[in-house]
Structure 1
Amino acid sequence: MDKIISCCGVVCTECKSFPKDCKGCPEIKGKVFWLQYTGEDICDVYNCCINEKQMEHCGRCEYLPCQSYSRDDPTKSPEENAEDHRKQIEQLKSM
């Protein structure tokens, strides 16, 4: 399987929610399953990067990491979120 990477730097194909709960942001257009916990319609990182700035990924943004990267996935622990954010930024810088 080819590696699928979201605009935020998440490697979708390495996520425990892929593909059962989430098909990856390139496929679902930022409408991730955990939005049910936040009440939003679309992930703010996806919306900013893809819809507003029309960038391929956040690694091209001069503001990386921005305030959006301080938000946590409500389904994960603080430690898991911190590690995820670290991996996302590392992934984006390598792209």
Structure 2
Amino acid sequence: MEEIISCCGVVCSGCGYYPETCGGCPAIEGRVFWTEYTGDAVCPIYQCCVTEKMLPHCGLCGELPCGRYDQDDPTKSPEENRADYESQMAILKKLAGRE
């Protein structure tokens, strides 16, 4: 299976919600299922990165990491959220060629 990475550094193709519940941000343009719980039409990170700044991923943004990454997944422990964040930053750094 081809690895699909969202603009925020999440490996969509490695997510438990992919592909049945979520087709991955590149395909669904940030209209992820969980926005129904936040009141957003589109993921705020996707909106900023792709729609507003027209970047392929946040690794190319001079503001990374920004406050949009501060929201934790309430279904995960603080340790799991921290690990996810660190993974995202490592992926974005690699995508930007700054390993």
* TM-score bracket, shorter-length normalisation: over 0.9
- Going from structure 1 to structure 2, the CA distance change for 1:89 and 1:62 (only over 3 Å counts) comes to same
Equivalent residue number for residue 34 of structure 1: 34
Structure 1 distance, partners of 2:80, 2:37, is 17
Which AA in structure 2 matches 1:43?
C
Equivalent residue number for residue 3 of structure 1: 3
Give the total of aligned pairs: 95
- Following superposition of structure 1 onto structure 2, how do residues 38-49 of structure 1 map, counting pairs within 5 Å? 38-49=38-49
Structure 2 distance, partners of 1:75, 1:29, is 24
Q: Are 1:87 and 2:73 an aligned pair?
A: no
Between 1 and 2, higher relative CO (CA 8 Å, sep ≥ 6) is seen in 1
Give the aligned CA root-mean-square deviation in angstroms: 1.2
Q: Are 1:67 and 2:67 an aligned pair?
A: yes
Structure 2 distance, partners of 1:53, 1:23, is 23
The runs of 5 or more residues in structure 1 that have no matched partner are: none
Equivalent residue number for residue 25 of structure 1: 25
Larger Rg: 2
The runs of 5 or more residues in structure 2 that have no matched partner are: none
Q: Are 1:14 and 2:17 an aligned pair?
A: no
Alpha-carbon shift at residue 76 of structure 1 (Å): 3.4
Q: Are 1:78 and 2:94 an aligned pair?
A: no
